[in-house]
């Protein structure tokens, strides 16, 4: 940090103000904030539009011989978990099909028997073959068919009910205190997934901002003036602070808008629907997690952004930025994919080992905190390794940056990067 200020702060302030004062930045931030509010209020919108109401399904009895199977199909559909279907028996296939055509029913199922005395089901619907409604009706029809075959084979109806009764199934974890044994594991899993996605988007999007900003000034020859007034380390640090700070400010505005949407959901629900909104569990979100998340997010972003800036300094044109920053995009994508795999095995040895790798630790440490078990010592060790790596990245990036900002029209590659690192400045 010695020798960086005040020049680095001057560069950062200029970069930050230049970005946040542009009309494009302000419009995009406003649009993304509205999107954040919209996503937060999305469940409320589904309720307001009535999209969460049960789907009506009409069951048509082709003949008196299939009355009992038709009633059994109605019972199966009405009691099927997560099907969200209300089934009723109606008289006449024409009436049922007209209801489907008019949008009053999601489907009409005609129950009949063929020449072999087997049950047949014909579904009349506009739903796709893979929709939840079609899948639920198919499963219920299969269940009714098996029960009918057992009945015709002479099995007592009381025994048939016992055959289809759900089995007693219990999962006993090795560690009874593990998060997997918690009833809130589902919300924790969703929270971990969202944080991984948000972190990946921030690293890729705003890392590109930093690289593009360096290439922009280099293409306009402004860099030749700046390099005479400040050292490469000061320029690099200022760029990362300024462009990264503008990006993170935009991210915070989006997150604040989404949080406001969640907090106002109850009042909006009472105003529009006359009732409270559904509870949205945020299990696993506590102060300790927020502190760790903030630290790893900031220093993880600093690591990526510093290297993005160094690679961006090698570009003579904006068109070259995407190509030159490709390695950083790949590293970020690998960390993202590893984190998604770790969601299903947070205690696996390979997850524990990779959580100490600086490029992956911002993803995996938070995942392990939410879905697994991790000690404060492990968090401290991962943070220490990350800080040392950031310091090393600043040193390497400054050397690349000092050579790259003055390279124009030359072929860029690993050899150029290696020469830039080796040259003492």
Asked whether the CA dihedral 348, 354, 360, 362 is positive or negative, the reply is: positive
One domain, residues 144 and 218? no
One domain, residues 229 and 376? yes
* pTM of structure: 0.66
One domain, residues 338 and 256? yes
Residue pLDDT, tens place only, 329-362 = 899 899 899 988 888 888 888 989 999 999 999 9
How many domains does the structure of the chain reveal? 2
Partnered with residue 85 across adjacent β-strands are 55
Residue 1 domain-assigned?
no
Task: State the CATH number of the domain containing residue 77.
Answer: 3.40.190
Cβ pair 97, 124 in contact under 8 A: yes
Phi and psi torsions of 410, nearest 5°: -100, 155
One domain, residues 42 and 60? no
One domain, residues 22 and 88? no
Residue 247 domain-assigned?
yes
DSSP string, 308-351: HHHHHTT-SSGGGHHHHTHHHHHHHHHHHHHHHHHTT-TT-HHH
One domain, residues 72 and 35? no
One domain, residues 318 and 399? yes
Residue 178 domain-assigned?
no
Which positions ≥6 away from 144 have C-beta within 8 Å? 69, 72, 73, 76, 119
One domain, residues 19 and 150? no
Residue pLDDT, tens place only, 139-184 = 989 988 988 888 888 777 666 666 766 677 776 666 655 555 455 5
One domain, residues 302 and 412? yes
Residue 269 domain-assigned?
yes
Confidence of residue 219 (pLDDT cuts 50, 70, 90): low
One domain, residues 309 and 388? yes
Neighbour-count burial of 243, counting CB atoms closer than 10 A to its CB (0-12 exposed, 13-18 middle, 19+ buried): buried
- Predicted pLDDT at 242: 83
One domain, residues 354 and 410? yes
The parent domain of residue 403 ranges over 7-46+184-422
DSSP code at position 284 = T
């Amino acid at each position: 940090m010695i020798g960086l200020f005040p020049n680095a702060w001057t560069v950062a302030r200029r970069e930050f103000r230049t970005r946040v004062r542009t009309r494009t930045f302000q419009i995009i931030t406003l649009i993304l904030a509205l999107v954040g509010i919209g996503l937060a209020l999305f469940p409320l919108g589904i309720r307001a539009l009535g999209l969460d109401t049960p789907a009506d399904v009409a069951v048509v009895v082709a003949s008196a011989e299939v009355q009992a199977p038709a009633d059994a199909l109605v019972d199966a559909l009405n009691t099927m978990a997560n099907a969200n279907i209300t089934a009723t028996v109606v008289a006449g296939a024409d009436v049922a099909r007209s209801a489907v055509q008019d949008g009053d029913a999601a489907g009409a199922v005609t129950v009949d028997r063929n020449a072999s005395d087997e049950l047949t089901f014909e579904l009349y619907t506009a739903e796709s073959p893979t929709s939840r409604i079609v899948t639920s009706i198919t499963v219920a029809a299969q269940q009714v068919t098996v029960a009918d075959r057992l009945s015709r084979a002479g099995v007592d109806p009381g025994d048939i009910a016992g055959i289809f009764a759900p089995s007693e199934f219990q999962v006993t974890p090795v560690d009874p205190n593990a998060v997997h044994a918690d009833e809130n594991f589902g919300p924790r899993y969703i929270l971990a997934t969202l944080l991984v996605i948000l972190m990946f988007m921030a690293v890729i999007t705003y890392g590109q901002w930093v690289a593009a900003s360096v290439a922009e000034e280099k293409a306009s020859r402004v860099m030749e003036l700046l390099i005479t007034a400040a050292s490469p380390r000061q320029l690099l640090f200022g760029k990362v602070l300024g462009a990264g700070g503008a990006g993170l400010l935009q991210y915070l505005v989006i997150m604040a808008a989404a949080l406001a949407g969640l907090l106002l959901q109850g009042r909006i629900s009472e105003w529009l629907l006359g009732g409270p909104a559904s509870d949205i569990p945020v299990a696993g979100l506590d102060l300790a997690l927020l502190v760790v998340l903030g630290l790893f997010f900031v220093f993880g972003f600093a690591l990526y952004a510093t290297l993005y800036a160094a690679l961006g300094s090698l570009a003579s044109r904006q068109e070259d930025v995407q190509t030159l920053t490709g390695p950083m995009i790949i590293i970020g994508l690998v960390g993202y994919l590893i984190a998604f795999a770790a969601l299903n095995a947070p205690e696996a040895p390979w997850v524990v080992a990779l959580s100490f790798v600086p490029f992956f630790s911002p993803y995996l440490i938070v995942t392990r905190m939410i879905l697994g078990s991790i000690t404060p010592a492990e968090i401290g060790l991962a943070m220490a390794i990350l800080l040392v790596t950031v310091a090393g990245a600043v040193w390497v990036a400054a050397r690349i940056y000092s050579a790259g900002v003055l390279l124009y029209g030359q072929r860029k590659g690993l050899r150029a990067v290696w020469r830039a690192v080796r040259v003492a400045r």
